Amino acid sequence: MMSDIEKHRTPLLVQMDKLGKAIFLIILAMMAALFVFSLLFRDMPVSELMLSLISLAVASVPEGLPAIISIILSLGVQTMAKQQAIIRKLPTVETLGAMTVICSDKTGTLTMNEMTVKAVITADHIYRVDGDSYEPVGAIHKADDAIPITVTGGSLLEQYLRTIDLCNDSQLIKDESGFWKITGGPTEGALKVLAAKGQLPVVTTELRSKIPFDSQYKYMSTLYRIGDEERVLITGAPDVLFRLCQQQQTEHGLQPLDISWWEGKIEEYAREGLRMVAAAWKPALPGQTELTHQDLQQGVILLGIAGMMDPPRPEAITAIRDCLQAGIRVKMITGDHPQTAMSIGQMLGIGNADSAITGRELEVMDDHQLSDAAQAYDIFARTSPEDKFRLVQALQSKQEVVGMTGDGVNDAPALKRADVGIAMGIKGTEVTKEAADMVLTDDNFATIASAVREGRRVYDNLKKTILFIMPTNLAQGLLIIIALLAGNLIPLTPVLILWMNMATSATLSFGLAFEEGEKHHAPTAARSQTACDGWVRYLARGVCWLNDCDKCVCAGSLAAAAWLFP
């Protein structure tokens, strides 16, 4: 997929191309007209005339502008690196300031990435779990009773805890400083901590086979010998396990699966912002040593569901508010239950957090419907990495400048397609980082907001630089034109003009690269779409090619031109 993606040119490069072509055509037309005029009416020698026309071209072209732009962008890269944002591609600095939409992953970016199980739902009882962080300390008690319970062997709760403990790739360890931490994913780590809090009876176990977790099928399965019994254990998204299960485990035996009851409980606890992970099991076949997806299509028994909390980052709440004030919409894309996603979205202050759309709904939409949905919704739940890619395309079709965050290998195509691909530096894979334009060394959404603020400062300084350089070059060009029209010798040779540009405009404009950001300036969301009519207006109106032709302020020698070409 990545090999077929054509990276979009940044707004800065597109606008610089427009400016360069406009200057070239205007100078070419002026040189042709002055050549004919001077030969017919001033009878100038061809050698002097050609030297004068070359001087006109040298005077009118801002030779130092590309170098100055590179220096300003490089200074922006240096500043962002100090703010935990590593820029991998120079024009990304300016594109950050042009972003109109940020599509962000939830876990670890908008939230603390420190999941803690707060509730366990089984067919017989609902349990609450005390404790925070990864320290395996906290009581398990029934929801309607504050007295801690003891997990007994053979009980339904013991079966559930044993399943999430063994069907798990994470490890719970205590470092030299005495702090508990996990190796592996935060979701599996939270389940591991829950099992440790249950203080399960010791039994002998042996792993026979395993199906690792994959976002494509959203579950993990292991084949274990537990004591004298062979069992297939499964953990994953509740909606996926509901499709695999036909029965549910109770303290009194097996019963038919009551999907409506389970969905009601999920809806209830998802309103608290809890993320749901289900567990199930089935007896292994006699002599079974290998595990395949086909083995999970029948005979699976649901054990229960864990609800875990991953609290929002306080700094992310402030950053989202700043983005909204700056005209940037923030869209949250997650694999969680829609109600969980909406609850977290409301805590974060995301604009339209009262409704959500799921990946399954997106899959059946055509391109036009997807474009409308991508703009209408800010919460996208139960999504896959492929959905991210389609959402980027849909938003870009609506002329949005899109930033996309990701950490997994499957996120790489979406990051490469986005105008600004943002990879996670801590939990991100190398493939994702290679595809991205920017890498966050702290995996924090607030860093993105800081980078956008710096990108807008860089853009403002670029605009100021062009406002300074263009009148200087236009004044030199007008000097040559007036001399040719009067039939006089050129006042400045090409070498003198180049020296003046280097000694004045190029060096003096460096100071603008260090200008602080403006406290009050209009959002730059639509500037990449600005187009001006007529080549003359590119020069006559200074930087009208950048933004708001009708509000452009002309300075210095441009004042007369602005009066002639309103």
pLDDT of residue 4: 78
* Percentage of the chain lying above the pLDDT 70 cut: 91
202 CB-near residues (< 8 Å, 6+ apart): none
86: left (phi over 0), alpha (psi -120 to 50) or beta: beta
Q: Please state at what angle helix 385-397 crosses helix 367-376, rounded to 10 degrees.
A: 90
Query: Which pLDDT tens digit goes with each residue over 300-356?
Result: 999 999 999 888 888 899 999 989 988 899 999 988 889 889 999 999 999 888 999
Catalytic member of 17, 43, 105, 550: 105
Q: What is the SS3 assignment for 236? A: strand
Tell me: do 321 and 246 sit in the same domain: no
Q: Please indicate, yes or no, if residue 466 is contained in any of the structural domains.
A: yes
Tell me: do 470 and 444 sit in the same domain: no
Q: Which two tokens stand for residue 120?
A: 């366990």
Count of other CB atoms within 10 angstroms of residue 205:
14
The residue assigned the tokens 């709760």 is 157
Whether the pLDDT of residue 543 is over 50: the answer is: no
**Of the residues 281, 309, 337, which one is the last residue of a structural domain?**
309
Tell me: do 173 and 271 sit in the same domain: yes
Query: Which pLDDT tens digit goes with each residue over 374-432?
Result: 999 999 998 888 898 999 999 999 999 999 998 878 788 899 999 999 998 888 889 98
Q: Which two tokens stand for residue 318?
A: 């402030």
Tell me: do 318 and 304 sit in the same domain: no
Tell me: do 213 and 265 sit in the same domain: yes
| 105 among known catalytic residues | yes
Q: Supply the CATH number for residue 347's domain.
A: 3.40.50.1000
Q: Please state at what angle helix 445-486 crosses helix 65-82, rounded to 10 degrees.
A: 170
103 forms bridges with which residues in the sheet?
Answer: 331, 404
Selection from 452, 342, 354, 357 nearest residue 402 by Cα: 452
Mean pLDDT value of segment 458-477: 85
Query: Which pLDDT tens digit goes with each residue over 317-333?
Result: 999 998 998 889 999 99
Instruction: Measure Cα distances from 92 to 27, 86, 98, 402, 439 in Å.
Output: 31, 11, 10, 12, 11
Domain that holds residue 503: 2-74+452-564
Whether the pLDDT of residue 365 is over 90: the answer is: yes
Q: Please indicate, yes or no, if residue 23 is contained in any of the structural domains.
A: yes
Tell me: do 149 and 220 sit in the same domain: yes
Q: Please indicate, yes or no, if residue 87 is contained in any of the structural domains.
A: no
pLDDT of residue 301: 95
Through-space distance between the first and last CA atoms of the chain, rounded to whole angstroms:
49
Mean pLDDT value of segment 54-73: 85
Q: Please indicate, yes or no, if residue 535 is contained in any of the structural domains.
A: yes
Mean pLDDT value of segment 423-445: 90
Query: How would DSSP label each residue in 321-363?
Result: HHHHHTT-EEEEE-SS-HHHHHHHHHHHT-TT-S--EEHHHHH
Least confident range of 121-125, 192-196, 445-449, 469-473? 469-473
Tell me: do 467 and 443 sit in the same domain: no
Whether the pLDDT of residue 298 is over 50: the answer is: yes
Selection from 100, 20, 78, 63 nearest residue 458 by Cα: 78
Rounded Cα distance, 503 and 513, in Å: 17
Count how many domains the chain has: 3
Q: What is the SS3 assignment for 530? A: coil
Whether the pLDDT of residue 458 is over 80: the answer is: yes
Q: Please indicate, yes or no, if residue 54 is contained in any of the structural domains.
A: yes
Query: Which pLDDT tens digit goes with each residue over 388-397?
Result: 899 999 999 9
Tell me: do 17 and 155 sit in the same domain: no
110 CB-near residues (< 8 Å, 6+ apart): 104, 312, 313, 316, 320, 332, 344, 348, 445
Selection from 340, 361, 411 nearest residue 103 by Cα: 411
Tell me: do 143 and 264 sit in the same domain: yes
Please give the distance of CA 396 from its chain centroid, rounded to a whole number.
14
Amino acid at 447: T
Whether the pLDDT of residue 65 is over 60: the answer is: yes
> For all residues of the chain together, what is the average pLDDT?
84
Count of other CB atoms within 10 angstroms of residue 101:
25
**Of the residues 259, 279, 309, which one is the last residue of a structural domain?**
309
Q: Supply the CATH number for residue 220's domain.
A: 3.40.1110.10
Q: Please indicate, yes or no, if residue 16 is contained in any of the structural domains.
A: yes
Whether the pLDDT of residue 548 is over 80: the answer is: no
Q: Please indicate, yes or no, if residue 470 is contained in any of the structural domains.
A: yes
Tell me: do 516 and 503 sit in the same domain: yes
Rounded Cα distance, 407 and 313, in Å: 18
Q: Supply the CATH number for residue 6's domain.
A: 1.20.1110.10
Tell me: do 130 and 248 sit in the same domain: yes
Tell me: do 202 and 276 sit in the same domain: yes
**Of the residues 252, 279, 309, which one is the last residue of a structural domain?**
309
Amino acid at 406: G
Q: Please indicate, yes or no, if residue 85 is contained in any of the structural domains.
A: no
Least confident range of 10-14, 125-129, 266-270, 282-286? 10-14
Least confident range of 231-240, 389-398, 453-462? 453-462
pLDDT of residue 519: 66
User: Residues 227, 204: contact at Cβ < 8 Å?
Assistant: yes
